[in-house]
Amino acid sequence: MALTVREAIPTGLAGATACYIGYDLADHGVGVAVIVSTVLAILSTGLSVGLRFQQAANDVQLFTCPEGCGVEIRTTNQPSDSVARLRELATDHSQHPAARS
Ligand SMILES: [Zn+2]
């Protein structure tokens, strides 16, 4: 998965923040496990925010099965007729493999 510019900016900011906080925590004698956990949490947040920016910019829609069988369909910049067809497929549980077994 390649990062786009919209994902890279918040990820880069999170990386810089994580480095600064990690360095500052190490300077105050905080344990390595706490520093690693904190840095990973900040990086994870940055990636999550970047993904949300990407989704907002690309008209991403996510359709999930209302029965909770785990079927999900994500569309990106699709024509409305395709989106309607994919929404129908995702929300019709009778068409999912879990409903056939
Ligand atoms: Zn289903």
Q: What's the whole-model pTM score?
A: 0.50
Q: What is the pLDDT of residue 34?
A: 94
With bands split at pLDDT 50, 70 and 90, how would you rate the model's confidence at 2? low
Between 5-27 and 32-57, two packed helices, what is the crossing angle to 10 degrees?
A: 160
- Cα→Cα distances 76→55, 63, 88, Å: 8, 12, 16
| Whether 13 contacts 42, CB under 8 Å | no
Residues 6+ apart with CB under 8 A from 100: none
What is the Å distance from ligand 1's center to 90 Cα?
7
Query: How does pLDDT run across 24-80, given as a tens digit for each residue?
Result: 999 998 999 999 999 999 988 888 888 787 777 778 889 999 999 999 999 988 899
What is the Å distance from ligand 1's center to 61 Cα?
17
Residues 6+ apart with CB under 8 A from 59: 76, 77
Q: What is the pLDDT of residue 52?
A: 80
Q: Which residue has the tokens 């994500």?
A: 74
Q: What is the pLDDT of residue 62?
A: 92
